Amino acid sequence: MNFYNPYQFIPVDTRRTKKQYWHDRDDIADPENSFTRHDRWHPEGKSGRITCTLKCRTPLVAGAKQDPGTRKTPGTVDPYCLPDDTLAIPGNSLRGMVASIAEAISQSALRVLTSEEEAQWSVRKPVESPLTMLGILLHDEIGWHIRVLPMNEVITIPLNRLDSRRSYQHNENRTLLHVELTREGRFRRFVDSPTPHSYTGILFRRGSHKDMPNKQKEKFIVWDGELETLERVDVDDKVVETFNNILRRRHKELKEENKDFPLLPVGYEDRDWEKQVVRSGDIVWFGRDRKRNVIELSYSAIWRKEVPGTLHFAFQNAGGKDALPWNKDRDELTPAEALFGVVEEKPETHRNARNLASRLRFHDAEPLGDVKLEEKTITLKILASPKPPSPAMYFAAAPLCQDRCRLSLRVFV
């Protein structure tokens, strides 16, 4: 499957940006900070007016009043108009477009970044690092633990030979299955009861989908059904909670995108997506660290892995503390902030906040001639924003943009 980025991504790294120290009011007297002043004219400074002409090569709408619509019907957007009903492009839209470009090419701080609250971010695991151990996840009076299944005796069964057989679930479906093999050791058929030539075990049916064209087989694990004969490995509650939260978040994302990709094995579908998705008795793949502690759970050998910490932490770790919006822990202004201004958010008091007004003013763009307004309603395609954490897009300098991103912004107003 090929993936085409609709955007040109520029890595975040404000540590390389020339910044202006601005902590106390007296710091503005520093000669290097002279261009961030609002209280006096600087002899080497410049001011003026830039007039631009925009040409719409494709249909354009700058929205004003909006009706959000429903899940079944799209919302509607009324075009922005001047007081005399003339169609126009609002100045704040132009400002946002120019400011976002200025931030990117000057490696300036982000003016807007989603809440820094904890979230369960996850990314696709690399194919080269699959989970290799299967077990039955159980919960008792002591807590969560795994009974490790014998992976040295696994029989593969073609999808077209499974009929309606469900995955094994210890607390809901204790039925053991029996299979016979060919002389070559391959699956031959299911039998209703054990025979001298059959093998007893359980079926783990991960499921298939049109987006999984290479999926052809499922796993049958040879096991006599006795839990006490299997190795017991304790699992921390936080590991189960992390797995549960990633499942819920991924389910929500797929639902918003109207996708039906299966997240749960066959037979596990009846789950409460608002609370606990993972149940005692589920067969899971799991990973362990060097100390043999279970650190990862999944319903498939290759799925998703957690990205720990907040989104703010990820941006600060990759691009420096000045990559975050203006806050009490920052003392230096990046180039775009010196131009477009900053506002420090202090919701508890709103007193003694360090703010700097913008030195640029944008006006509405008015039409130079007649503007044709579409008489019919046009339904636009959804252009979703990149979903965090997207580390390859935000925090790595891809070969395509390494040279294109070596830009600087030097503007005197």
Give the domain-ending residue among 201, 231, 261. Answer: 231
SS3 177: strand
pLDDT cut 70: percent of the chain above it = 81
Are both 327 and 412 inside the same structural domain? yes
Q: What is residue 287's predicted lDDT score, i.e. its pLDDT?
A: 94
Q: What is residue 14's predicted lDDT score, i.e. its pLDDT?
A: 85
Residue 141 lies in a domain: no
Residue 301 lies in a domain: no
Exposed, middle or buried by CB within 10 Å (0-12, 13-18, 19+), for 106?
buried
Are both 7 and 106 inside the same structural domain? yes
Kindly report the backbone phi and psi dihedral angles of residue 102, in degrees, each rounded to the nearest multiple of 5, phi listed first: -60, -40
Name which of 91, 18, 5, 40 is nearest 320 in CA terms. Answer: 18
Are both 100 and 167 inside the same structural domain? no
Are both 176 and 98 inside the same structural domain? no
Q: What is residue 139's predicted lDDT score, i.e. its pLDDT?
A: 94
Which residue is listed with tokens 């990314």?
123
Give the domain-ending residue among 231, 265, 293. Answer: 231
- Determine the Cα–Cα distance for residues 287 and 247; give it in Å rounded to an integer: 17
148-192 residue pLDDT tens: 999 988 999 999 999 888 888 877 777 899 999 999 999 999 999
Q: What is residue 408's predicted lDDT score, i.e. its pLDDT?
A: 30
Question: DSSP label at 372?
Answer: P
Contact between 90 and 364 (Cβ < 8 Å): yes
Q: What is residue 405's predicted lDDT score, i.e. its pLDDT?
A: 33
Q: What is residue 296's predicted lDDT score, i.e. its pLDDT?
A: 95
Q: What is residue 173's predicted lDDT score, i.e. its pLDDT?
A: 72
C-alpha distances out from residue 355 to 98, 110, 275, 332, 350, Å: 21, 15, 42, 12, 11
Residue 129 lies in a domain: no
Kindly report the backbone phi and psi dihedral angles of residue 127, in degrees, each rounded to the nearest multiple of 5, phi listed first: -60, -30
233, β-bridge pairs: 146
Give the domain-ending residue among 191, 214, 231. Answer: 231
Residue-range definition of the domain harbouring residue 194: 150-231
The average confidence (pLDDT) of the chain is 82
Are both 62 and 165 inside the same structural domain? no
Q: What is residue 214's predicted lDDT score, i.e. its pLDDT?
A: 86
Are both 167 and 71 inside the same structural domain? no
Name which of 340, 403, 402 is nearest 103 in CA terms. Answer: 340
Low-confidence ranges of the chain (pLDDT < 50): 1, 398-413
Q: Which two tokens stand for residue 375?
A: 């008489």
Residue 170 lies in a domain: yes
Question: What total number of domains does the chain contain?
Answer: 2
Q: What is residue 70's predicted lDDT score, i.e. its pLDDT?
A: 80
Residue 364 lies in a domain: yes
Are both 356 and 407 inside the same structural domain? yes
Q: Which two tokens stand for residue 407?
A: 């830009």
Are both 83 and 11 inside the same structural domain? yes
68-80 residue pLDDT tens: 878 778 888 888 9
The pTM score is: 0.65
